[in-house]
Structure 1
């Protein structure tokens, strides 16, 4: 059911985003009535607040007419931000060498939360260097993945 809803929302929202010069980075669909539908959008030139507001209005009208979500919900449209969530393995390669945080659906080696430097993302797996040890994760086992923002080093004077 969730996959079909995601596909339906994508069919409705992607053309609206494209008309605003944006790409849909991903969506978080509410798990229950009254939840939040989060739509993350991006573009090579970044995303402005005005673009998000315009897209939000377009999405609201379309979803009111099409009514794909059962019950009430709150719509949020934003850029993925500095600690962007990842929705597919194919989004990861540009971030190789950067820190990533994972939350797994089930514990691996006794833990669900992992943080390390992304060293590979290929097919349906990703590899993190966690304190000098490589760990391979199947994407299907990942509940959430996000980039970890690192403050750039201060320039010495």
Structure 2
């Protein structure tokens, strides 16, 4: 049996907490930066989260992590908002982002490009349709979800 990933364990631990606190779990990351490991939990809610939301989730999750102890190395726990350029990972994320300005990078190029920025026109579970501006022209690009390496909301300049 494959060893369970830290992010999967943390997600399982934090889901009842975010449900109780009436916030949404956006993402969980466990990454090394320099000499340190960081466990980052991103939460959100309509209107955005505040420091109190983050603090409540952090305290409760920290207690659960102390009990389960899934991470052998030392790490820093950070609970925060995903920010204005929130990642799009789940079907609900893409559905909520229809009509929004997004950035999408790909594993392999489409029409010679590995990244697109524009308005998300539609999402059907298998592909995205974007309205991309190139200088003064607008064109539609269809992106198979299987080719998406990263998708996030983007701040339109």
Report how many aligned residue pairs link the two structures.
151
Structure 2 CA distance for aligned equivalents of residues 30 and 99 of structure 1: 28
Is residue 2:129 matched to residue 1:127? yes
How far apart are the structure 1 equivalents of 2:14 and 2:43? 10
Deviates more, 1:80-89 or 1:9-18: 80-89
Uncovered stretches (5+) of structure 2, i.e. residues with no partner? none
Task: Return the offset for 1:94.
Answer: 2.4
- Structure 1 portions without partners, runs of 5+: 152-157
Residue 109 of structure 2: which of 107, 125, 135 is its match? 107
Whether contact under 8 Å (1:90, 1:121) holds in the other structure is no
Question: CA RMSD, aligned part only?
Answer: 2.6
Query: What residue in structure 1 maps to residue 39 of structure 2?
Result: 37
Shift of 1:45: 4.8
Which residue of structure 2 lines up, in the alignment, with residue 154 of structure 1? Answer: none
Q: Secondary structure at the match of 1:38?
A: strand
2:144 corresponds to which of 138, 141, 144? 138
Distance 1:2-1:112 versus aligned 2 partners, 3 A rule: farther
> Would you say 1:85 and 2:87 are equivalent positions?
yes
Q: Which is richer in strand?
A: 2
Q: For 2:26 and 2:58, locate their aligned partners in 1 and report how far apart those are by CA, in whole Å.
A: 15
Provide the residue aligned with 2:22 in structure 1: 21
**In 2: Cα distance, 1:109 partner to 1:74 partner:** 42
Q: State the Cα distance separating 1:101 from its structure 2 match.
A: 0.4
Query: Runs of 4+ in structure 1 displaced over 6 angstroms?
Result: none
Contact residue 40 and residue 78 of structure 1 kept, 8 A: yes
